[in-house]
Amino acid sequence: MYQYNQIDQTLVDERVEQFRDQTRRFLKGELPEDEFSALRLMNGLYIQRQAPMLRVAVPYGLLSSTQMRKLAHVARTYDRGYGHFTTRTNIQFNWPELAAVPDILAELAQVQMHAIQTSGNCIRNTTTDPYAGVAENELEDPRPYCEIIRQWSTLHPEFAYLPRKFKIAVTGATEDRAASQVHDIGLQMVQNADGEIGFEVLVGGGLGRTPIIGKSIRKFLPKQHLLSYLDAILRVYNLKGRRDNKYKARIKILVEALGPDEFRRLVEEEWAHIRDGELTLTDAEIARAKSFFTLPDYDANAANADAHASLGDSLATDIEFNAWYRHNTLAHRVDGYRIAIVSLKPYLEAPGDITDSQMDAVADLADRYSFGETRATHHQNLVLTDVREGDLYAVWQALAANNLARSNIGTLTDMIVCPGFDFCSLANARTLNISDQINEHFDDMDHLYDLGEIRLNMSGCINACAHHHVADIGILGVDKKGEDWYQISLGGSSKEDARLGKILGRSVPASDVALTVEKILAVYVDQRRENESFAQVVLRVGIKPFKERVYATAH
């Protein structure tokens, strides 16, 4: 994990004091609302439906146990006892008092956290694979490059006022777990014919009202040119991106308007001026970044016979633990260890929410069993990446005692859901009531396990914060004359085979969402062949059979 140096700490501390004075002047009426608005957004503070909302940055989803405990303290002291993890792996607090926000930021600065660039038209938090560094199918750990991008982009003077917000994802595994193809820039680590590792660069992906899969503009970019090439892309976007219409201001619109070949030509032309300049990454600089992500002190004896036998006994005698092991843990590259996923989707609780006591519990588990680190995922869960197999039963028991051990990872109820109309001022429809409805309707875990891996994402408006376009089953809330209706799409994916789902047909009323999902799943069960996933069936048969079942008057 990256540790702040004195320059970093000074920068964050000074920002806190600047915002403290700005907030004081606003509350005394010395600073107009329109001027304060821009300043608070620069510090991650929105005005939402219920109260101010503070979005705290979690760089590439990595949290130390100290930072997690500080988040618990903030939730307990300044909010209503909980926080909400987002698809950008940040955490949001929904109920802070405006006057207390400078104090919150000061507390966060004590543990090297802040809210800088979590809003506004700038480069947002770079995201990555939550299993980076421990995944079996990884070409190289992408986190050092995320950190390099973070340092380059933080308060970058040229890119502080882009046409619109800008999102970057980096992935280093053959399986894309960072949704890199639906980002403004997706960086996928690849190996060329000479065995060198670099990046394939995809540009112009994104969701929202104009969902588009990113276009590859460079199949192989050597590592040392990472920043100079990103700089060239941002320069072209900054110069030619539309600023007259915010709905057409994202880089995806520019790439579509120019065409990927012309956009590539412009980037290469710009890059030619800077490619070997001061942004060139030296081997020493890359090594310095890598030094913050060294391997922990793994127990060479973790895979001993006693631990294996103990795990086997627990799996054989405890059905609930067995289910959690099968669905919430993954293979680790080090023998004797597993990756454990902490589900933030307890039954009838808001997806992605976590209480202060749960945060403290996760921090304690991280310290005791996973080298003091926790990861946030874009699926709105948490991960303990380095758990000895012999400790899994104890970890599960502790998670279960804190309502964090639901064995639903990858199933229908492991939903990505935005807060919707209950909290967000942009939302058109409620989402949390619909996630409850789906949970109540599909409460038989054996049925969910039989259905297999299904990704259901639900957004409360066209801004698509919950990535509904790239889900197996996507649900979009829409407002129709003051009533909530829900549009269903099928067949999307955010993985290496990224694709946009197709709209099934007319939207359904709120009362019918779970019943509609049930009809869709019934078609899947009828149509599936042996070991065929939901996604594979939709690809093979198309959406017509699903449409016929959902809208047939006889059903």
Q: In a structure prediction context, what are the per-residue pLDDT tens digits for the chain, which is 555 residues long?
A: 899 999 999 999 999 999 999 999 999 999 999 999 999 999 999 987 778 999 999 999 999 999 999 999 999 999 999 999 999 999 999 999 999 999 999 999 999 999 999 999 999 999 999 999 999 889 999 999 999 999 999 999 999 999 999 999 999 999 999 999 999 999 999 999 999 999 999 999 999 999 999 999 999 999 999 999 999 999 999 999 999 999 999 999 999 999 999 999 999 999 999 999 999 999 999 999 999 999 999 999 999 999 899 999 999 999 999 999 999 999 999 999 999 999 999 999 999 999 999 999 999 999 999 999 999 999 999 999 999 999 999 999 999 999 999 999 999 999 999 999 998 988 999 999 999 999 999 999 999 999 999 999 999 999 999 999 999 999 999 999 999 999 999 999 999 999 999 999 999 999 999 999 999 999 999 999 999 999 999 999 999 999 999 998 744
Neighbours of 287 (CB within 10 A): 10
What contacts 554, CB < 8 A, 6 or more positions away?
Answer: none
Q: In the beta sheet, which residues pair with residue 47?
A: 52
Q: Report whether 429 contacts 461 (CB < 8 A).
A: yes
**What's the order of all strands across the beta sheet hosting 82-85?**
45-47, 52-56, 91-93, 82-85, 353-355
Alpha helices, H only, 179-304: 226-240, 251-258, 260-274, 283-290
What is the Rg, in whole angstroms, of the alpha carbon atoms belonging to the chain? 23
Angle at 230 between CA 267 and CA 205, to 5 degrees: 80
- Cα 513 to chain centroid distance, Å, stands at 25
Please report the pLDDT score of residue 445 as a whole number.
96
Looking at residue 555, its pLDDT comes to 44
| Beta bridge partners of residue 473, listed in sequence order | 456, 490
DSSP codes, 403-453: T---S-TTSTTS-EE--GGGT-TT-SS--HHHHHHHHHHT--HHHHHHH--
The CATH 3.90.480.20 portion of the chain extends over: 6-110, 305-401
Parallel, antiparallel or unpaired: strands 416-417 and 456-459: parallel
Residue 3: what are its φ and ψ, rounded to 5°?
Answer: -110, 130
pLDDT given at position 47? 86
Topology, domain 6-110:
Sulfite Reductase Hemoprotein; domain 2 (3.90.480)
pTM for this prediction: 0.96
Nearest to residue 190, comparing CAs of 215, 216, 166? 216
CB burial readout 462-489, b (16+ within 10 A) else e: bebbbbbbbbbbbbbbeeeeeebbbbbb
First to last CA, the chain: 55
Which CATH class name applies to 416-551? alpha beta
Q: Where in the chain is the domain with CATH 3.30.413.10?
A: 134-291, 416-551
**Integer angstrom CA distances of residue 6 from 9, 106, 367:** 5, 16, 26
Tokens 């030509």 correspond to: 265
Q: Residue 450's pLDDT is what?
A: 97
In this prediction, residue 48 carries a pLDDT of 79
Q: Exposed (0-12), middle (13-18) or buried (19+): which is 95, by Cβ within 10 Å?
A: middle
Q: For 409, left (φ over 0), alpha (ψ -120 to 50), or beta? A: beta
Token reading at 520? 């869709």
Task: Write down the pLDDT at residue 136.
Answer: 84
Helices 513-527 and 534-541 cross at an angle (nearest 10°) of 80
Q: Which fold has domain 134-291?
A: Sulfite Reductase Hemoprotein; domain 1 (3.30.413)
Choose the CATH number for 305-401 among 3.10.25.10, 2.40.50.140, 3.90.480.20, 3.40.50.720: 3.90.480.20
DSSP 8-class letter at 339: E
Say what the pLDDT of residue 51 is: 82
Q: Per this entry, what is the length of the chain?
A: 555
What sign for the dihedral angle of Cα 509, 511, 514, 518?
negative
**Residue position matching structure tokens 């004195």:** 6
